[in-house]
Amino acid sequence: MKILVIADHDNGALKPETSKVVNAASKIGTDISVLVAGHNVGSIVEAAASIAGVSNVLVADNAVYETQLAENISELVLSIAEGYTHILASASTTGKNMLPRVAALLDKSQISEIIAVVDENTFKRPIYAGNAIATVQSNESVKLLTVRASAFDLQGTQAPAATSVVGTVVDNATTQFVSIEQTESERPELTAAPVVISGGRGMQNGENFKLLEGIADKLGAAIGASRAAVDAGFVPNDMQVGQTGKIVAPNLYIAVGISGAIQHLAGMKDSKVIVAINKDPDAPIFQVADYGLVADLFDVLPELEKAL
Amino acid sequence: MKVLVPIKRVIDYNVKARVKSDNSDVDLSNVKMAINPFCEIAVEEAVRLKEAGTATEVVVVSIGDKACQEQLRTALALGADRAIQIETDQKLESLHVAKLLAKLVEQESPELVILGKQTIDADNNQTGQMLAALTKRGQATFASKVVIENGKAVVTREVDGGLQTVAVNLPAIVTTDLRLNEPRYASLPNIMKAKRKPLDVVAADSLGVDLSPRVTLVRVEEPAKRQGGIVVESVSELVEKLKNEAKVIS
């Protein structure tokens, strides 16, 4: 078994998801290579080589990979795919964008968002917004898998593994990068934070999300939101937790003014401890909450901030 | 410009899926079905492009048994011009769907194909990307804004950490995210009119695509149930429990 993990990074730093994908890969086999494709990625390569269990880092350092367009990366992966039995990427927007393109170029079926490795051919994944867990067996000679990072642990570190340069440079004729508009945040990344506090429609407006900030600062938490809060324009959409947003599994998840629709639960119900603050005692969120507080969030939030 | 919109019949998004007692699959008998919400957004976007004079024809396609004609009629009522059903009883993987759609793209040569980013049943998020690879077209996934200008689709994409804009030469493949638009409802007169719009049925077998399964569904089970929680009376009690009982804060 030869496994290729495609590193997830924003061309500035390696994302912790990569370490978790290597953790998933280590449950399949031991010969693990990591591909880092980007531009001026020296420190990212170093970080990838230091993940425990990585035997080799392949580096494709070229301006055409800087924005990681799927058209370029998929051709690059195709050019080096020979010999690998498994190709893994994180189920981030980058991985989801690129890996199915690779799969089709290789004429292989892909398995998305695995949460467990049963054996080298068999994997578990959630379907129907996490209301069912499917065990699926791939009969393909090359298994393409995206990995739900929140379901796997961070790997340890090691003395850096060897690196080698991949020569292929592929630029496409169809798609050009125009611009990126990044959401500024000094808080931990939503998908990696140990504590997440999320607001929903009950927050009433974007201004009131400030009530969550003091609590988030005290807990070292990331701030999330339900789709209702995003659609109402309270906060930007990359804060959305749920089936179609981000999937998180922190130690502590605090849901404030969130009713708990199926689609939201799909994104957070694997959290270790869930706290719900809602004034409606019948809100479905209380069915999954370990601790529920039936109260008006505008009374409770300042009190909570003070109590921490 | 011709726009092709593939749609899928799925369980209604408000219905909680139940696992069959023999753990073979999810139980879909007597469950309310609907157009996949992301596909609805794709239809809406195509119809808006037509209303803006950018698109000249909107063709919707669905792959499945006869029942999916219901969703095709709904799409026609929303403003699509004609529908194609690729008929099969088989359960298909994303790769099969992409290959069948690639054949249709070859026949219909649409300048734009708009798909949903994922279906809410399989949650795969693959078909659009695979179709783009198979037709050698550029792709813009997770679109929250689409502008057609100078032979390109300029698409704002929802990515982790923010918004990315790409320009894709036409013909192109676009997949929709939730915030692209708010789909309209079908009016009764339009539902009546939709019954007279053309709906062609093509046998999947006639398209020459190998549909043999590549992935076996071994078992489907309920996710682990969470232990029932408790209701606390006050903030101080909550903080005390989190510190001393759950030990998740210090």
Closest CA to A143 of A86, A82, A81, A74: A86
Predicted confidence (pLDDT) at residue A170 exceeds the cutoff of 90: no
- Whole domain around residue A249: which residue ranges? 195-307
The reply to whether B180 touches chain A by the CB within 8 Å rule is no
Domain membership flag for residue B6: yes
Report chain B's mean pLDDT, rounded to a whole number.
96
CATH number at residue B204: 3.40.50.620
For residues B106-139, b (16+ Cβ closer than 10 Å) or e, as one string? eeeebbbbbbbbbbbbbbbbbbbbbbbbbbebbb
A9 is in an annotated binding site: no
Q: What is the pLDDT of residues B146-187, one digit of tens each?
A: 999 999 999 999 998 889 999 999 999 999 999 899 999 999
- Our count of domains for chain A comes to 2
- Give the chain B residue whose CA is nearest to the CA of A250: B248
Q: How confident is the model at residue B216 (pLDDT cuts 50, 70, 90)?
A: very high
Measure in Å the smallest separation between the Cα of A81 and chain B Cα atoms.
Answer: 16
Q: Specify whether A212 is located in the same domain as A292.
A: yes
CB–CB of A135 and B120 under 8 A? no
A187 in any annotated domain: no
Are A149 and A17 contained in the same domain?
Answer: yes
* Residue where one domain finishes, among candidates A165, A183, A205: A165
Do A161 and A201 share a domain, yes or no? no
> Where on the phi/psi map is residue A3: left (φ > 0), alpha (ψ -120 to 50), or beta?
beta
Same domain, A151 and A256: no
Same domain, A254 and A142: no
For residue A13, what are its two tokens? Answer: 């730093």
A135 and A269 inside one domain: no
Which residue, among A87, A97, A98, A179, would best test binding to B if mutated, counting the most B CBs under 10 Å from its CB?
A: A97
Q: Find chain A residues with C-beta within 8 A of B12's C-beta.
A: none
Total domain count for chain B?
A: 1
Residue B74 lies in a domain: yes
Residue of chain B whose alpha carbon sits nearest to that of A96: B125
Q: Is A219 contained in some domain?
A: yes
Q: Using the beta-carbon criterion (under 8 Å), do A195 and B167 form an inter-chain contact?
A: no
Report the pLDDT value the prediction gives residue A283, as an integer from 0 to 100: 96
Q: Is the dihedral of CA B148, B150, B152, B156 positive or negative?
A: negative
The DSSP code sequence of chain A is --EEEEPPB-SSSB-HHHHHHHHHHHTT-S-EEEEEEESS-HHHHHHHHTBTTEEEEEEEE-GGGTT--HHHHHHHHHHH-TT-SEEEEESSHHHHHHHHHHHHHTT--EEEEE-EEEETTEEEEEETTTTEEEEEEE--SSEEEEE-GGGSPPP-B-SPPEEEE-------SSEEEEEEEEPP--SPPTTT-SEEEEE-GGG-SSGGGHHHHHHHHHHT-EEEE-HHHHHTTSS-GGGBBSTTSB----SEEEEES----HHHHTTTTT-SEEEEEES-TT-GGGGT-SEEEES-HHHHHHHHHHH-
pLDDT at A186: 83
Please tell me whether residues A234 and A115 are part of one structural domain. Answer: no
**pLDDT, tens digit (0-9, with 9 covering 90-100), for B95-153:** 999 999 999 999 999 999 999 999 999 999 999 999 999 999 999 999 999 999 999 99
Note whether A97 contacts B26, CB cutoff 8 Å: no
Query: Same domain for A89 and A133?
Result: yes
- What values do phi and psi take at A124, rounded to 5? -110, 145
Q: Note whether residue B94 is domain-resident.
A: yes
Q: Is residue A256 part of a domain?
A: yes
Q: Are residues A37 and A90 in the same domain?
A: yes
Final residue of a structural domain among A146, A165, A184: A165
> Domain for residue B250, yes or no?
no
Are A211 and A107 in a shared domain? no
Give pLDDT, residue B225: 85
In a domain, B238, yes or no: no
CB-count exposure of residue A189 (10 Å: 0-12, 13-18, 19+): middle
Is residue B249 in a domain?
Answer: no
Q: In the predicted model, is pLDDT for residue A167 greater than 80?
A: no
| A129, A132, A294: residue with CB nearest B120 | A129
Strand bridging mode A54-61 / A32-38: parallel
Cβ–Cβ below 8 Å for B177 and A244: yes
Q: pLDDT (tens digit, 9 = 90+) per residue, A78-122?
A: 999 999 999 999 999 999 999 999 999 999 999 999 999 999 999
Domain assignment present for B133: yes
Supply A302's token pair: 């300042």
CB distance A304–B140 less than 8 Å?
no
Could you tell me if residue A183 is inside a domain? no
In angstroms, the CA A81 to CA A75 distance is 10
Backbone angles phi, psi at A75, to 5 degrees: -65, -40
Q: Is residue B241 part of a domain?
A: no
Q: Is residue A182 part of a domain?
A: no
Q: B131 lies in which domain range?
A: 2-223
Whether A90 and A41 share a structural domain: yes
The pLDDT tens digits of the residues spanning A265-293 come to 999 999 999 999 999 999 999 999 999 99
A240 belongs to an annotated ligand binding site: yes
Return the pLDDT at B43: 98
Q: Which tens digits make up the pLDDT trace of A187-205?
A: 898 988 999 999 999 999 9
B85 at A interface, C-beta within 8 A: no
Judge whether residue A61 has pLDDT over 90: yes
B124–chain A nearest CA distance, Å: 6
pTM for this one?
Answer: 0.94
- Residue A21 above 80 pLDDT? yes
Which one of A118, A147, A165 terminates a domain? A165
Q: Does B208 touch chain A (CB under 8 A)?
A: no
CATH number at residue A294: 3.40.50.1220
Same-domain check for residues A114 and A8: yes
Distance from CA of A72 to the nearest CA of B (A): 10
How near does any CA of chain A get to the CA of B159, in Å? 6
Nearest chain B Cα distance for residue A83, angstroms: 19
